[in-house]
Amino acid sequence: MYSLKKKLTRSLVINMILLMLLLLGGLSYSIQQLLKDHVLSRLQHDADSLVSLIQQDQAQHWSLNPAHMSTIYSRVRSGHYYAINIRQQKIRSRSLFDFEVPFRPISADDYAQSYQMQGVGEESWLVWQQRVHRNNQSFELWVAEDMTPVYRNLLRFFGVAVLIILSITFVSIYLQQRILNRAFSIFDALRLNLQDIRHGKPEQAMSQVPLEVLPLVQEIKTLVEQLRQRIARTRNAIGNLSHEIKRPLQIVSLQLDQHKSPSGSKALDEIRGIVDRELRRARISGASVAVGVVNLREECAYLLEVMQKIYPTILIRLQLQPESMSVSIDRDDLLELLGNLLDNACKFAESAVSIEISNDSQQLTIKVEDDGPGVAPDQALQITTKGLRLDETVEGHGLGLSICADILHSYHGSLSFDDAELGGLKALAVIPLTLN
């Protein structure tokens, strides 16, 4: 089992992280290329300026006119450098100090090239190198700028950008969570509506139902109504059958008495026992519709009154913890479970039966004990087998405890047996209320 909301949130977070990483990667590449192009453009401009300042004296020596040069090239390690290689003569900026410039060869098809190299210390230089023709002379011009300050500012920029993007991501996730919660609230409303129907309360009108959920809501409502009608028809049919069959049984009984058929009389007694059991069930459950919240003190008082009339010689003691208890469970299912457990205990009890019901908000525990003969440990697992009777001398058809097991199974509960403190059998039924 998985949570659809968590799955959607997880997918959103992963997608947002991937999107932001792609955004940061694209932004980083674009800005670096933009800055690199900007610095290269500036280096080309400086190179053109240097070319215009190159002059040759009468002794055929080349030099630069210092009056028109930027002073930034005169400061040592200023981050801006140039060098000119004219045959055997080399002209270098003062900022290079004693650093030897490694000129790279320029291919014959190109007149210029740009590249990055490690500079002095921790500096990273972006270099513009070009071939120049002047006064029938060919020479190479080398201009470089330290990119470390640029990268440092770029790193600060990306730190701020990451914080902004993370903030946008968290805000987007928060807003998406609110949207998901609002979208999934329709299922909470639907669950509460179904819970009201199960508890017998009037159905609440759902004002706004999304088109995607509307078919599901309609199908659930149709299913609930069909189940309600089917259960009502089944219970009415059982009650009607039990009542209607009594008269034909009386006629068959008179016929068998006239013909004196022991086997027929025994079979008729078994049929009559089944009919009596169904009538007792109808008497216990009553004719009211099933509701979700059951007041155990009121229902148990009525149930014990019925059982006391059926078994007048048995003392039945009831203990509720807490004394005033209401549980959310089908009334007919609970009364049939209690009725069958008590009926089974009273059949085998000698004089006393105790029933203890406790509720800790997580589960409903029902413990029924009698002072009868009990059962052997190897037979305890067979008690709930449908049609099995461990004691043939006691009336019954072996269906009561099997029905109890079926009811508990439908509620994800359990039924176990052990030795009772009264000396007989202890039946322990546990119903988890959190699943109802």
* Angular region, 15: left φ>0, alpha ψ -120 to 50, beta rest: alpha
pLDDT of residue 38: 92
The tens digit of pLDDT for each residue in 139-188 reads 889 999 999 998 898 889 888 988 988 888 888 888 888 888 887 777 77
* Angular region, 355: left φ>0, alpha ψ -120 to 50, beta rest: beta
User: Crossing angle, helix 262-285 and helix 214-244, to 10 degrees?
Assistant: 130
Whether pTM > 0.75 for this model: the answer is no
Please report where in the chains the tokens 């029905």 appear, as a residue. Answer: 403
User: What are the strands of the beta sheet with 315-321, ordered from one edge?
Assistant: 315-321, 352-359, 363-370, 425-432, 414-419
Q: Looking at the structure, tell me whether residues 263 and 386 fall in a common domain.
A: no
The answer to whether residue 394 sits within a structural domain is: yes
pLDDT of residue 127: 93
Helices (H), 54-147: none
| Residue 392 banded pLDDT, cuts 50, 70, 90 | very low
pLDDT of residue 72: 87
Name the DSSP class of 361: S
Q: What is the CATH number of the domain that holds 409?
A: 3.30.565.10
Of 260, 287, 314, at which residue does a domain stop?
287
Nearest Cα to Cα of residue 387 among 405, 374, 369 = 405
| Residue 366 banded pLDDT, cuts 50, 70, 90 | very high
Rounded CA separation 380/392 (Å): 16
The answer to whether residue 204 sits within a structural domain is: no
Contact predicate 303/332, CB 8 Å: no
Q: Looking at the structure, tell me whether residues 250 and 307 fall in a common domain.
A: no
| Residue 288 banded pLDDT, cuts 50, 70, 90 | very low
pLDDT at 351 over 70: yes
Of 287, 318, 347, at which residue does a domain stop?
287
Q: What is the mean pLDDT of the chain?
A: 79
Of 121, 151, 181, at which residue does a domain stop?
151
The tens digit of pLDDT for each residue in 297-347 reads 888 888 898 888 888 999 999 998 887 778 877 787 888 889 889 988 998
| Residue 436 banded pLDDT, cuts 50, 70, 90 | very low
Q: What is the CATH number of the domain that holds 24?
A: 3.30.450
Q: Looking at the structure, tell me whether residues 87 and 224 fall in a common domain.
A: no
The answer to whether residue 255 sits within a structural domain is: yes
Domain coverage including residue 55: 4-151
Q: Looking at the structure, tell me whether residues 260 and 334 fall in a common domain.
A: no
What is the three-class DSSP state of 269?
helix
Q: Looking at the structure, tell me whether residues 116 and 24 fall in a common domain.
A: yes
Give the burial class of 247: count Cβ atoms within 10 A of its Cβ; 0-12 exposed, 13-18 middle, 19 or more buried. Answer: exposed
Q: Looking at the structure, tell me whether residues 368 and 409 fall in a common domain.
A: yes
Please report where in the chains the tokens 């047996």 appear, as a residue. Answer: 417
- Residue range 223-251: average pLDDT? 71
What is the three-class DSSP state of 321?
strand
The answer to whether residue 194 sits within a structural domain is: no
Structure tokens at 26: 């694209």
pLDDT of residue 243: 62
Question: What are the CA-CA distances from residue 12 to residues 9, 20, 186, 348 (Å)?
Answer: 5, 12, 21, 64
The answer to whether residue 166 sits within a structural domain is: no
Per the structure, how many domains does the chain have?
3
Q: Looking at the structure, tell me whether residues 279 and 300 fall in a common domain.
A: no
- Residue range 419-425: average pLDDT? 88
Nearest Cα to Cα of residue 343 among 379, 307, 309 = 307
Q: Looking at the structure, tell me whether residues 251 and 367 fall in a common domain.
A: no
| Residue 45 banded pLDDT, cuts 50, 70, 90 | very high
The answer to whether residue 182 sits within a structural domain is: no
Q: Name residue 358's beta-bridge partners.
A: 321, 365
Rounded CA separation 159/164 (Å): 9
The answer to whether residue 20 sits within a structural domain is: yes
pLDDT at 49 over 70: yes
Q: Looking at the structure, tell me whether residues 126 and 48 fall in a common domain.
A: yes
pLDDT at 260 over 80: no
pLDDT of residue 388: 45
Q: Looking at the structure, tell me whether residues 19 and 145 fall in a common domain.
A: yes
Contact predicate 433/361, CB 8 Å: yes
The answer to whether residue 351 sits within a structural domain is: yes
The pLDDT > 70 percentage for the chain reads 81
Q: Looking at the structure, tell me whether residues 280 and 311 fall in a common domain.
A: no
- Residue range 370-382: average pLDDT? 74
pLDDT of residue 391: 46
